[in-house]
Amino acid sequence: MPALFVLDDAFWSPRLETVRNVTLPHVMEQCEQTGRLRNFDRAAGRLADDFEGRVYDDSDVYKTLEGVARFLARHPDAALDRRVQDWVERIAAAQRADGYLHTWTQCHAEAEPFEDVRSRHELYGAGHLLEAGLALHAATGNDRLLEIARRLVQQVGEHFGPGRRTEPPGHPELELALLRLHAETGDEEAVALARFFLEGRGVLEGRETYGEYAQDHAPLREQREAAGHAVRALYLWSAVADLVAATGDRSWRPALDAVWKDVVETRRYVTGGVGSSSENEGFTAPYHLPDEDAYAETCAAIGLVRLARRMSRLDGDARSIDVLERSLFNGVLAGLSLSGDRFFYANPLASA
């Protein structure tokens, strides 16, 4: 299992302590207050009232658990661990006997599993669940959430793959999680499913295109420019980089290298922010980088950090770390207040 990378200096330590002591408790409380956690109780049949929130809200619970796990790895906390395990058991209770888990679908009797993988974020949520399970297992040794996630992944694999359904996830994330599972456990079925989803994007036989917004306008190996929703694009190309690292398949490199160069050289703000337009939450034309109406979503800067880290590992090129640092110290940090409990989603560079 990869060693935990630790940031521990005069700049980062206070910020990380704020996240541990303020941000994470605040986010956990929000998951409980807004109904995100109660939706699992509804899916389990423990509550009979209506679903609360949006179709993708499960993923917020999973991502919160992953964040908590990162801190539990360095700061064991028995009370916090008990709270986490309560969450995990509520998630477990919601999982169907066949492994399927998506509270919005389970709470809407007319909805069918995997009926709309373009928009319902089932596979996106599955990816975040898997990453949370891996993180909790690494931090505490408890594999309960990981087993829940692997049962869901098995269910996905029974529906998607050669000779089965061919649609890729509408929002990339499961691909990243599958490749992380492979990296940490050697699971070859995980890397095969990730490859299947990546190779199927932009291949439109027997299905409708998701369009450029979801990087589905051409097969990935043929793409040469960053396009569409910025977070989706950066998650997607990060998964491609992970696939190259896992398999050694260099046939992906012309597309990966061209898109990386396009993002860094023509679509990146001086802050390291990316995704200039609010209309598509993403990329427009090269060098279109307005200040006052810049979108520069915090999540997109995080996506660029993730991709930069992977490009550095592939090539050993320090320039990729320069990109990472600029986005991390500016584009990412802009999204969180010094108090730790206030947030920016968009990050304009000027205000009248």
| pLDDT tens digits, one per residue of 158-173 | 999 999 999 999 999 9
Rounded Cα distance between 62 and 128, Å, is: 6
Rounded Cα distance between 107 and 41, Å, is: 10
The per-residue pLDDT for 339 is 97
Which residue do the tokens 């079925």 mark? 189
Which residue do the tokens 């456990």 mark? 185
Q: Is 57 helix (H, G, I), strand (E, B) or coil?
A: coil
Share above pLDDT 70 across residues of the chain, in percent, rounded to a whole number:
99
H-helix or E-strand containing 242?
A: helix 230-247
| pLDDT tens digits, one per residue of 189-241 | 999 999 999 999 999 998 999 999 999 999 999 999 999 999 999 999 999 99
DSSP conformation class of 287:
T
CA 68-29-86 angle, to 5 degrees, is 60
The per-residue pLDDT for 104 is 98
pLDDT tops 60 at residue 87? yes
Rounded Cα distance between 65 and 2, Å, is: 19
Q: Is 174 helix (H, G, I), strand (E, B) or coil?
A: helix
Backbone angles phi, psi at 74, to 5 degrees: -105, -25
| pLDDT tens digits, one per residue of 304-335 | 999 999 999 999 999 999 999 999 999 999 99
Rounded Cα distance between 176 and 245, Å, is: 12
The per-residue pLDDT for 48 is 95
